[in-house]
């Protein structure tokens, strides 16, 4: 290799290290952070002058702000060792072209224990993603980046990318542990309900999304009932599920299109979710108690309403087989 080639390679390595620093601090830094960078560079044999460092920082900052959306993929040693997907330049260029956002590899971005990691910038906001080891994981991250780039904001439903979201500042789990049992509700689902007596089918649609960094689960719901005069009666509601900080129990608050708010306590029974429903809401039948049982299926989930008509035993009133949406262009989470 020619001496000038070695000099060029060394210059690229230096700029890559500085870019990783700029990405890690999301485009702005303090004097203390800059001093930490100098120490890290010195450990690797770099002692740039102030002018050289300023020039590298300016170039890195320009790269950081290139495009309305930019994904920075760490290719430091720990990340390289755990990446089970293609990170060659042609592949990354293709991903950028398809997703309509920039993709740039960097040196180490910091949290090596979370490798592989990447930082997604959309506008002025950034989010780190981590532990996407398999190719399917990487494709999920790319899809999330594409959705965020198209919307111009990171505040898009993360879908299956939620487990890969990582907050390097706050030390907490990305998804609330107990709520992981309800992960089968995340996605877009449709289903036709059937009453136990075989009468009057109805249609239900549910969209479930992780909210607030996976600490809560949001459910948008719509039910359409056919009326005897040929019209259709549609009701919509929104529910927010979370873990009560004091009791550790899963609770839900549901907001209806009639302006009402209802609170529920959810129990986990094996793979099923069970909770007491309001018997008075089913005013066209007499019931002293009501409960719903929701269990995951291979295609989505089953929802069953059971009523106690006074005997002390629950009997099935209706069943809905919810199917995960598989429309063209959608992924397994209903995207």
User: Exposure pattern of 287-312 as b/e (b: 16+ CB <10 Å)?
Assistant: bebbbbbbebeeebbbbbbbbeeeee
Q: Say how many domains are in the chain.
A: 2
Q: Outline where the chain has alpha helix (H).
A: 3-24, 31-43, 50-64, 77-82, 89-99, 135-151
The answer to whether 222 and 238 are in contact (CB under 8 A) is no
Q: Which of 166, 189, 216 is the last residue of a domain?
A: 166
Residues 179-202, mean pLDDT to the nearest whole number: 87
Let me know if residue 172 belongs to a domain.
no
Q: How far is CA 128 from CA 49, 214, 233, 289, in A?
A: 31, 14, 44, 47
Q: Do 15 and 68 fall within a single domain?
A: yes
Q: What domain range includes position 246?
A: 178-324
d(CA 130, CA 112): 10
Q: Do 18 and 161 fall within a single domain?
A: yes
* Percent of the chain residues past pLDDT 70, beyond the cut: 90
> Which CATH number belongs to the domain containing residue 112 in this structure?
3.40.30.10
Q: Using only C-alpha atoms, what is the Rg of the chain?
A: 26
Q: Do 142 and 230 fall within a single domain?
A: no
Q: Do 9 and 141 fall within a single domain?
A: yes
Q: Do 162 and 248 fall within a single domain?
A: no
Nearest 5 degrees, angle CA 123-CA 138-CA 101? Answer: 30
Residues 125-146, mean pLDDT to the nearest whole number: 94
Reference 149, options 109, 106, 97, 114; nearest CA is: 97
The predicted-structure confidence for 243-300, as pLDDT tens digits, reads as follows 887 788 899 999 999 999 999 999 999 899 999 998 766 556 778 899 999 999 999 9
The predicted-structure confidence for 251-261, as pLDDT tens digits, reads as follows 999 999 999 99
Q: What are phi and psi of 322, to 5 degrees?
A: -85, 125
> Which CATH number belongs to the domain containing residue 299 in this structure?
2.40.128.20
Reference 163, options 192, 131, 201; nearest CA is: 131
Q: Which of 135, 166, 197 is the last residue of a domain?
A: 166
- pLDDT of 111 over the 60 cut: yes
């Amino acid at each position: 290799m020619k001496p000038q080639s070695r000099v060029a390679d060394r210059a690229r390595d230096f700029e890559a290290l500085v870019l990783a620093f700029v990405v890690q601090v999301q485009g702005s830094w303090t004097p203390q952070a800059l001093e930490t960078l100098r120490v890290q560079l010195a450990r690797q044999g770099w002692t740039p002058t102030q002018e050289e460092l300023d020039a590298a920082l300016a170039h890195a900052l320009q790269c950081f702000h290139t495009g309305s959306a930019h994904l920075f993929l760490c290719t430091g040693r720990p990340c390289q060792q755990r990446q089970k997907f293609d990170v060659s330049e042609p592949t990354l260029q293709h991903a950028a072209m398809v997703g309509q956002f920039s993709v740039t590899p960097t040196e180490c971005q910091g949290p090596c224990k979370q490798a592989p990691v990447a930082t997604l910038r959309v506008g002025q906001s950034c989010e780190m993603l981590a532990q996407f080891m398999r190719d399917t994981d990487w494709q999920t991250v790319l899809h999330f980046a594409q959705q965020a780039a198209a919307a111009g904001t990171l505040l898009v439903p993360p879908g299956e990318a939620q487990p890969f979201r990582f907050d390097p500042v706050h030390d907490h789990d990305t998804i609330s542990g107990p709520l992981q049992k309800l992960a089968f509700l995340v996605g877009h689902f449709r289903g036709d309900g059937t009453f136990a007596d075989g009468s009057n089918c109805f249609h239900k649609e549910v969209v479930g999304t992780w909210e607030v960094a996976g600490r809560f689960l949001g459910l948008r719901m719509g039910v359409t009932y056919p009326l005897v005069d040929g019209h259709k009666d549609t009701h919509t509601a929104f529910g927010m599920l979370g873990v009560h900080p004091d009791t550790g129990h899963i609770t839900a608050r549901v907001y209806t299109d009639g302006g009402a708010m209802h609170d529920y306590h959810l129990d986990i029974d094996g793979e099923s979710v069970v909770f007491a429903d309001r018997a008075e809401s089913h005013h066209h039948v007499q019931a002293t108690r009501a409960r719903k049982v929701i269990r995951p299926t291979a295609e989505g989930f089953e929802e069953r309403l059971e009523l106690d008509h006074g005997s002390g035993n629950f009997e099935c009133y209706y069943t809905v087989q919810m199917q995960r949406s598989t429309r063209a262009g959608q992924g397994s989470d209903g995207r």
